[in-house]
Amino acid sequence: MRWIHAAGRGLLVLVVILTGYVAAGARADEPHAGGRGPLTVATAGDLTGYLGSVLDGWNRTHPGEKVTLVELPDSADETHAQMATDLRGGDRSRFDVLNIDVSWTSEFAAQGWIRPLARDRFPLDTFLPPVVDTATYDGQLYAVPYVTNAGLLLYRKDILAKEGADPPRTWTELERAAKTIAPKYGLDGYAGQFLPYEGLTVNAAEAVYSAGGSILGDEGERVTVNSTGAREGIGFLARGVREGWIPKRALTYKEEESKQAFQDGRLLFLRNWPYAYVGASAKGSPVAGKIGAVPLPGPDGPGTSVLGGSNLAVSTHARYPDSAARLIAYLTSERVQRQVLTRGALPPVRADLYEDPGLVREFPYLPTLRESVRTAAPRPKSPRYDQVSLVVQAVVRDAMTGRQTPEAAVRRLARELDTLARR
């Protein structure tokens, strides 16, 4: 058997040498900095499976600048880990253009992984106002907004109608209906994305912001979490699990699992991104025609969504930065932005599409979404955002499983974030 291992090892060495050689050869061919050539685009899981068809449009008309798409996992944290590993490889990195979560721009820029971009190459003034800020760091543009996002509360219209209840506008109304109406129909009450990963940070930040609290100030230099608002926000989530109107199984949900629970008719209320509303309304969904979407509720009125979405960035080691910029201009053109909505069920960044009568007819939630994006609050901007998010996830998890009171959780958050805030 030993010789097989030896032969395997020899083969491995050969493959490494060959790929090393090819990679080195490819770099030596580089025509000149800023030149044109093929690109590799990395993205988080394409949940609605539309991006391939959008990129086919580019590939057909740009034969010398063909894009290869690398789809990374569904979970934002795993995508982050894989992109970071690739980018740390320096000039061995495979990715030229990165479709990064809006919350990563500062970290990727501070690490020197992505290049500053020239504002005048991109149609920034046609975008919804809050999104451009997610693409800047220290006053410099490091990425271009591509997709935006805001959380919505999806609800079972059919069941609320039978009960003569309106969709909830406040946490009290949400809690009451989740506690009293859901069990009558054999449903779970309320869920969001509560597995410890970026989704939990989003849901926790929304609860904190909705109650008037915040997490970090400035560009991550100040810890602002120690407040009544933060205690109230985390208290809302912890109370839900303790009282059972947030089911225990929701502590394992990411976007897809929570969408599935709602779509299968097992859930009365769901916090999710608009793609879940589109999926659950589609032909063949058991709850099609039975659901509605409203802005997220807060303690005594409308709450605040976190601003989601993704930005397109160019790796510092991109071989053809000019092609990368041209591709980004294409993906943010009006034509492709329309496809982002119609094929991808994702919220475009171009403002005028939200007022297009044809699109509003086809996607009746657009005006609600536009308002939710307009009032959405960004996640803390920090060059160490990945660690900030891990702290939030761990602490909120402990509060939601009852291991720590909301008061103790907020004190611990303040303490742990403080060690990350000092640069």
Residues engaged in binding ligand GLC (CB under 6 A): 76, 101-103, 149, 193, 198-199, 202, 255, 273, 308-309
Q: Which of these, 110, 101, 419, 383, lies nearest to 220 by C-alpha position?
A: 383
Cα dihedral across residues 338, 339, 340, 346: positive or negative: positive
Using alpha carbons only, give the angle 31, 34, 38 rounded to the nearest 5 degrees: 65
| Six-digit token string for 147 | 């997709």
Q: Is 193 left (phi over 0), alpha (psi -120 to 50) or beta?
A: beta
Q: Which residue's CB is nearer to ligand GLC, number 146 or number 330?
A: 146
The distance of closest approach from Cβ of residue 266 to ligand GLC in the complex, given in angstroms and rounded to an integer, is: 21
Q: Which of these, 176, 173, 225, lies nearest to 409 by C-alpha position?
A: 225
Residue 6, H or E segment: helix 2-28
The distance of closest approach from Cβ of residue 273 to ligand GLC in the complex, given in angstroms and rounded to an integer, is: 6
Q: Which residue's CB is nearer to ligand GLC, number 220 or number 309?
A: 309
Q: Which residue's CB is nearer to ligand GLC, number 193 or number 323?
A: 193
The β-bridge relationship of strands 188-191 and 267-272 is: parallel
Check: CB of residue 292 under 8 Å from CB of residue 77: no
Tell me the C-alpha to C-alpha distance, in Å, between residue 245 and each of 238, 291, 292, 407, 423.
11, 19, 20, 21, 41
The distance of closest approach from Cβ of residue 193 to ligand GLC in the complex, given in angstroms and rounded to an integer, is: 6
Q: Closest-CB residue for ligand GLC? A: 308
Q: Which residue's CB is nearer to ligand GLC, number 93 or number 193?
A: 193
| Six-digit token string for 62 | 């740009």
Q: Which residue's CB is nearer to ligand GLC, number 158 or number 257?
A: 257
The distance of closest approach from Cβ of residue 44 to ligand GLC in the complex, given in angstroms and rounded to an integer, is: 7
The distance of closest approach from Cβ of residue 392 to ligand GLC in the complex, given in angstroms and rounded to an integer, is: 12
Q: Which residue's CB is nearer to ligand GLC, number 187 or number 204?
A: 204
The distance of closest approach from Cβ of residue 215 to ligand GLC in the complex, given in angstroms and rounded to an integer, is: 14
